[in-house]
Amino acid sequence: MSSSATQNRSSRTPLIAGNWKMNLDHLQAVATVQKLHWTLKDAGHETGSVQVAVFPPFTDIRSVQTLIDADKIPFELGAQDLSAYDSGAYTGEVSGAFLAKLGVGLVIIGHSERRAYHHEGDDVVGAKVKAALKHGLTPVICVGETAEDLERFGGSAVPVSQLEKALEGVPASADIVVAYEPVWAIGSGQAATPAQAQEVAAALRGVLARVLDDDAAARTRILYGGSVKSSNIASFMREPDVDGALVGGASLVVDEFAAIVRYQKHVGV
């Protein structure tokens, strides 16, 4: 599999996704999306060469959706989480049905911050993946090892196991995105090396082929996340199994995020 899936890299549109986490209120969100749009336009960024997605806090989504629709801004709208349930007595939760109604297309599931601070295990992640698919949302399934896991098991074992569990019961035709985010690289300023990212991304593509099928492995985008910046994005994008990036801190700084989106121009890949 892996060689044919890797050779199909050109059929996978690169995706640069900004996870804002709990930053920017709805007014700041609107200003940020407007500025990002104009920065990319002024720089002559070719829409379609790279897909851009923003993942604001829930409270911003309606405002960002209104702006994107009104100004025909070519960004995908994402959410940072969803409930495993459709509706009911789940105080504080947000249903995939509500997100879909707001024009949300992508939803992050299993981010290491939710796994760590909200004790979300593989069972919860699996249930949320199914909830997203049920409501027509594309899950961005986050997997990654801690520094301790890396030392004990190497880079691939934990992300491979997390992805296998997240894909249980998922049909091969499902539209999904996988984000490999080593926990030790998130927010630390210490990114993985491109070779490390490639090794794990190739192993994850192998999981897609084994658990889903070769076609799913060939078409599914695998992102790298963890201290991505404009100065290192091109080195990740040169790797055959890395199809984009999930960007945290750097997605909050418009000029920096725009430079990441424009990685093909400013470094040449």
For residues 107 and 78, is the Cβ–Cβ distance under 8 A?
yes
Q: State the nearest-atom distance from the C-beta of 34 to ligand PEP, in Å.
A: 22
- Measured from the CB atom, the residue of 96 and 249 that comes closer to ligand PEP is 249
- Measured from the CB atom, the residue of 38 and 58 that comes closer to ligand PEP is 58
Tokens at 10, concatenated = 């050109």
- Measured from the CB atom, the residue of 111 and 262 that comes closer to ligand PEP is 111
Locus of tokens 């897909």: 51
Angle between helices 254-261 and 26-42 (to 10 degrees): 50
- Report which secondary-structure segment, H or E, holds 208: none
Q: State the nearest-atom distance from the C-beta of 28 to ligand PEP, in Å.
A: 18
How far separated are the first and last CA of the chain, in Å rounded? 25
- Give residue number: closest CB to ligand PEP: 248
Q: Binding residues for ligand PEP, per CB under 6 A?
A: 19, 181, 186-187, 225-228, 246-250
- Enzyme catalytic residues: 111, 181
Interatomic CA distance for residues 247 and 219, integer angstroms: 21
Determine the longest span between alpha carbons in the chain, in angstroms: 51
Q: State the nearest-atom distance from the C-beta of 244 to ligand PEP, in Å.
A: 12
- Measured from the CB atom, the residue of 81 and 181 that comes closer to ligand PEP is 181
Show the DSSP H helices in the chain as ranges: 2-7, 26-42, 61-71, 96-101, 112-117, 122-134, 147-153, 157-166, 194-207, 214-219, 233-237, 254-261, 263-266
Q: State the nearest-atom distance from the C-beta of 225 to ligand PEP, in Å.
A: 4
- Measured from the CB atom, the residue of 37 and 115 that comes closer to ligand PEP is 115
Q: State the nearest-atom distance from the C-beta of 63 to ligand PEP, in Å.
A: 22
Tokens at 230, concatenated = 């404009």
For residues 54 and 77, is the Cβ–Cβ distance under 8 A?
yes
